[in-house]
C-alpha cells in the first residue's frame, strides 16, 4: 500500500512586482546550501517568526525545485534560522533571537528567485 506523501511547511517570499512566490533556502554552519522545511507551521513560526510566509509542499516537489540549484539536502525542522542579510549594506538584520544560541541549525536565509512556487488554495498563513 502506498503511503501518503509528507507535506511540509516551506518558507517562501513574494517577488516584488510579480505574482510569484519563491522558496527560501539557507546555509549550514559549514556553508553548504540547504533547502528548509518544517513538519508543522508552528515550528516554522518558532524558527523564522510568525510573519514568515509559507506554502505547503510535498518533499518531491521541494526537491524538484531545489535540484536545478544544486541543492540536494533539506534541513527539516531547524530550531533557528538566522535573519536575512540587509540588502542595502550586506549586514545582517537585527536578530530576533540571540546570535549565540547553540540551537542554530540553518544559517542565514537567502532567496531563490529562479524557483517559483505556486500559491494553491490550501497553502499556509502569512498571506
pLDDT of residue 10 exceeding 60, the answer is yes
**Alpha-carbon separation of residue 13 from 24, 98, 105 (angstroms):** 7, 24, 21
**Distance separating alpha carbons of residues 112 and 39, to the nearest angstrom:** 21
Q: Are 71 and 37 in contact (CB under 8 A)?
A: no
Q: Are 8 and 47 in contact (CB under 8 A)?
A: no
**Distance separating alpha carbons of residues 75 and 67, to the nearest angstrom:** 14
What percent of the chain lies above the pLDDT cut of 70?
Answer: 64
What's the gap between Cα 28 and its chain centre? 13
**Distance separating alpha carbons of residues 28 and 34, to the nearest angstrom:** 7
Report residue 116's pLDDT band, with 50, 70 and 90 as the boundaries: very low
pLDDT at residue number 109: 39
How do beta strands 54-58 and 33-37 pair? unpaired
3-state helix, strand, coil in the chain (%, to 5): 15, 30, 55
Tell me the average pLDDT across 12-19: 88
How many residues are recorded in the chain? Answer: 127
Amino acid at each position: 500500500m502506498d503511503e501518503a506523501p509528507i507535506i511540509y511547511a516551506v518558507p517562501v517570499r513574494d517577488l516584488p512586482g510579480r505574482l510569484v512566490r519563491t522558496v527560501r533556502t539557507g546555509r549550514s554552519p559549514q556553508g553548504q546550501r540547504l533547502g528548509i522545511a518544517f513538519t508543522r507551521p508552528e515550528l516554522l513560526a518558532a524558527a523564522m517568526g510568525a510573519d514568515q510566509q509559507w506554502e505547503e509542499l510535498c518533499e518531491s516537489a521541494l526537491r524538484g525545485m531545489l535540484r536545478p540549484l544544486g541543492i540536494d539536502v533539506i534541513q527539516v525542522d531547524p530550531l533557528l534560522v538566522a535573519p536575512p542579510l540587509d540588502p542595502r549594506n550586506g549586514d545582517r538584520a537585527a536578530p530576533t533571537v540571540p546570535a549565540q544560541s547553540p540551537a542554530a541549525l540553518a544559517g542565514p536565509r537567502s532567496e531563490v528567485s529562479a524557483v517559483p512556487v505556486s500559491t494553491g488554495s490550501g497553502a499556509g498563513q502569512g498571506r
